[in-house]
A and B are shown apart, each in its own frame.
Chain A
Amino acid sequence: MDGSYKKSGVEALVDDRVDEGVFRVDRSVYTDQDIFEAEIERIFEKGWVYLCHESQVPEANCYFATDIGRHPVVVVRQKDDSLAAFINVCSHRGALLTSKKQGKAATLTCRFHGWSYSCDGRCVRIKNEKEGFGEDGFDRSQYDLNPIAKLANYRGFIFGSLVDDVDPIEDYLGAAATWIDLMVEQSPEGLEVVPGSSTYVIRGNWKMQLENSVDGYHVSTVHRVFASTVRNREERESLQGLKQTEGGRLVGIVPSGSYDLGNGHMSIWAQHTTPERRPIFKKKEWLEENLPAAHVEWILEKGRNLALFPNVMLMDNPSTQIRYVKPISADRAEVTVYCIAPVGEDAEARSARLRKFEDFYLTAGMATSDDMAALEDTMAGSFASQAQWSDFNRGLKTMTHGADEGAKAVGFDPVSSSESWENETLFFGFYRRWRDMMLASD
């Protein structure tokens, strides 16, 4: 596709009349394949996207293969411990270089004709070079790998861009940086991705996955059964053991809130009714000694979901998760979930964290599977062009412009704040960013 979707058409898709009490989105943003192709070009290939966590490339020569839009990309740990990222295709004929998703290799060697590249991207070997290219004056460096334009590491989370013209990573993250800080500062030794992951294909648009992750409104309907299952479990068993979770939070009776964090980033939080059952609670004393009181309160007492535009979600609620979304087509996306945890966490807390993760998240879990069903039904309904608008007006009249007290206390500056995670004003920022990138001049 040539990205020929008319820019003049994009503006009409986001009906942004907040002053008149209206914010709605034309559902063709989910269904139209031309819009999808334009998104890949104008959003994924023209801005920052999340690539991986630094713990997934722990040592020199470790690599992690991912994508930016249509470009396979490989992140490689260098000998000096820095990171580099390249377009993951052989300079010769374009075959993918990495044999696996993740691994360690002295060189990246193309398995087609055997060309090899060192971890810094230099072409170091061409099979039968002299016979094919002659003895004299042949400059192998013309075949070095293409580095991606920008690579940034924000506290362990690695982002990349195919274009130079992007804001510094701190500016791109903006208010969302504090939400990452709240995850990272829980552990003096950093965070690590726990072995194992799960990938599932959703029959839905990639944006629906981001929306779902910060949609507090569905929790008391879709996850009512999770809450009742847990209550039933707690009645059946004693309250001992590691499977405990907090049912109250899921039926909408606790303090909560949501934020439009700017640049398309969004977040929600809800109060933990029993924070003492969370794995992190064991570190309460350490947190209190080392962090400002407002940070400790946010870490221990507020379950948090963060959606970073355009392709990753970071959850500390009820377990800790990296959820990566890869757009496949207008109506398909691949989602990969990882459990992320403090390095050096004691065995009991780690196990509790994982069991909560398996309970709730995953396509085999008792909540994510229900989320997927809701999402896929939403996708199926979105093809009905005679019922074209998705409505995001909830909370419009009560939203706070800028920071509420909670945001001020912990020190981030959102575009708007809302007093309930059921409100949908956070999506204004997502679709404004979407519209702005779709309309940006080339």
Chain B
Amino acid sequence: MDIDNDLKRDVAELINWETTLLDRREWDDWIDLFAEDAVYWVPTWVDEERTVTDPETQLNLMYFRNRGGIEDRVFRIESRDSYASLPLDRTVHIVSNILVAGVEGDEISATANCLVHSFGKHGAQTRASLYDFKLRKTEAGLKIILKKITLIDDKLEGPVDIYHL
């Protein structure tokens, strides 16, 4: 499929912007990139080689059916009352391999890789993820309607929150 270069650029811009806002702690702007019905999904691994495939009936690290889930996380971080989130780990997201996989009507599928370096109570840590996005073209620009994060590491040290992913 021939994918318009402008669209490719817009998708890359959005994905880069999304992780930048996490690293810069611009939580409200970050939430704004997600549509209200956006699904946020971090599967667990069923075994050494496969993740769960049905978030409804299987166990996930995180599975939010709408944007409320990430709003909860931001509320908790900003409350300064979460033991695991005070002090907050510093993070840097390195995103690469951004590819537009397909376009159907107003919906765009895209994939990317992400390496997150964090530093905090647990020292320096690096975790890697595969990103699967679904985006929607709206009057306000592209909005995220799915962010699926396949976290490669599954023996985890320290907390895992939205800014680590």
Interface residues, chain A, with chain B CB atoms under 8 Å away: 100-103, 194-201, 203, 222, 224-226, 228-229, 232-233, 236-237, 243, 334, 338-339, 347, 350-351, 354-355, 357-358, 362-364, 366, 369-374, 376-377
Complex Cα gap A232–B76 (Å) = 10
Which of A102, A334, A364 touches B159 (beta carbons < 8 Å)? A364
Size of the chain B interface, CB-CB below 8 angstroms:
37
Do A199 and B159 touch (CB < 8 A)?
A: no
A sample of 13 inter-chain contacts (CB < 8 A) reads A195-B46, A198-B44, A198-B61, A203-B122, A225-B81, A347-B56, A354-B60, A358-B62, A363-B159, A366-B73, A370-B82, A373-B159, A376-B121
Kindly count the residue-residue contacts between A and B in the assembled complex, taking CB atoms under 8 Å apart. 119
Residues of B within 8 A of A103 (CB): 47
B124 contacts A by Cβ under 8 Å: no
* Nearest CB on A from B56, distance (A): 5
> A196-B43, A199-B156 in contact; A339/B81 too (CB < 8 A)?
no
> A101-B47, A196-B45, A374-B83 in contact; A232/B75 too (CB < 8 A)?
yes
Which of A225, A354, A364 touches B82 (beta carbons < 8 Å)? A225
Which of A101, A222, A354 touches B58 (beta carbons < 8 Å)? A354
Interface residues of B in 71-112 (CB under 8 A from A): 71-73, 75-76, 79, 81-84
B138 contacts A by Cβ under 8 Å: no
Residue of A whose beta carbon sits closest to that of B57: A350
> A233-B72, A237-B68, A373-B83 in contact; A196/B155 too (CB < 8 A)?
no
* Nearest CB on A from B7, distance (A): 32
> A197-B44, A370-B83 in contact; A229/B75 too (CB < 8 A)?
yes
B42 contacts A by Cβ under 8 Å: yes
Complex Cα gap A233–B42 (Å) = 20
Do A228 and B156 touch (CB < 8 A)?
A: no
Residue of A whose beta carbon sits closest to that of B86: A373
Do A372 and B154 touch (CB < 8 A)?
A: no
Residue of A whose beta carbon sits closest to that of B56: A351
Residues of B within 8 A of A366 (CB): 72-73, 76, 82
B158 contacts A by Cβ under 8 Å: yes
* Nearest CB on B from A146, distance (A): 25
B160 contacts A by Cβ under 8 Å: yes
Residues of A within 8 A of B58 (CB): 194-196, 354
Which of A197, A222, A350, A363 touches B83 (beta carbons < 8 Å)? A222
Residues of A within 8 A of B81 (CB): 224-225, 228
Do A339 and B160 touch (CB < 8 A)?
A: no
Residues of B within 8 A of A201 (CB): 155-157
Which of A197, A358, A372, A377 touches B158 (beta carbons < 8 Å)? A372
Do A196 and B156 touch (CB < 8 A)?
A: no
Do B84 and A196 touch (CB < 8 A)?
A: no
Complex Cα gap A195–B59 (Å) = 6
Residue of A whose beta carbon sits closest to that of B51: A196
Residues of A within 8 A of B63 (CB): 354-355, 358
Residues of A within 8 A of B61 (CB): 198, 358, 362-364
> A196-B45, A370-B82 in contact; A363/B59 too (CB < 8 A)?
no
B4 contacts A by Cβ under 8 Å: no
Do B60 and A196 touch (CB < 8 A)?
A: yes
Residues of A within 8 A of B45 (CB): 196-197
Residues of A within 8 A of B156 (CB): 198-201, 363-364
Complex Cα gap A372–B73 (Å) = 17
Complex Cα gap A198–B62 (Å) = 11
B52 contacts A by Cβ under 8 Å: yes
Do B47 and A199 touch (CB < 8 A)?
A: no
Residues of A within 8 A of B139 (CB): none
Residues of B within 8 A of A364 (CB): 42, 61-62, 156, 159-161
Which of A225, A354, A363 touches B57 (beta carbons < 8 Å)? A354
* Nearest CB on A from B72, distance (A): 5
Which of B45, B79, B156 neighbours the largest number of chain A CB atoms within 10 Å of its CB?
Answer: B156
Complex Cα gap A199–B154 (Å) = 7
